[in-house]
């Protein structure tokens, strides 16, 4: 798994798969196109938005793995 894939899957699952959370935080900010306060990651509704945005990227990772 590449670092980029690990960051995407971390954002999608909520499990940190990279050493530095700031990589995931930065990715999510780019994904949503806005600054994100750290406490927002504790909101299930917010995380649902992240998951929805990540779905096509996760599908691509799965497709490439097969």
pLDDT tens digits, one per residue of 31-61: 999 999 999 999 999 999 999 999 999 999 9
Cβ 32 vs Cβ 24: under 8 Å: no
Q: What's the confidence (pLDDT) of residue 7?
A: 98
d(CA 1, CA 33): 25
Q: What's the confidence (pLDDT) of residue 66?
A: 80
Q: What percent of the chain has pLDDT over 70?
A: 100
Which backbone phi and psi does 12 adopt, to 5 degrees? -70, -45
pTM of the model: 0.91
Q: What's the confidence (pLDDT) of residue 49?
A: 96
Q: What's the confidence (pLDDT) of residue 13?
A: 96
Which backbone phi and psi does 61 adopt, to 5 degrees? -60, -45
Distance of CA 37 to the CA centre of its chain: 15
Q: What's the confidence (pLDDT) of residue 65?
A: 86
Domain range annotation of the chain: 3-65
């Amino acid at each position: 798994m590449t670092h980029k894939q690990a960051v995407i899957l971390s954002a999608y699952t909520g499990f940190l798969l990279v050493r530095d959370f700031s990589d995931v935080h930065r990715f999510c900010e780019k994904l949503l196109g806005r600054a994100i306060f750290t406490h927002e990651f504790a909101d299930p509704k917010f995380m649902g938005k992240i998951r929805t945005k990540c779905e096509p990227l996760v599908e691509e990772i799965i497709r490439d793995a097969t």
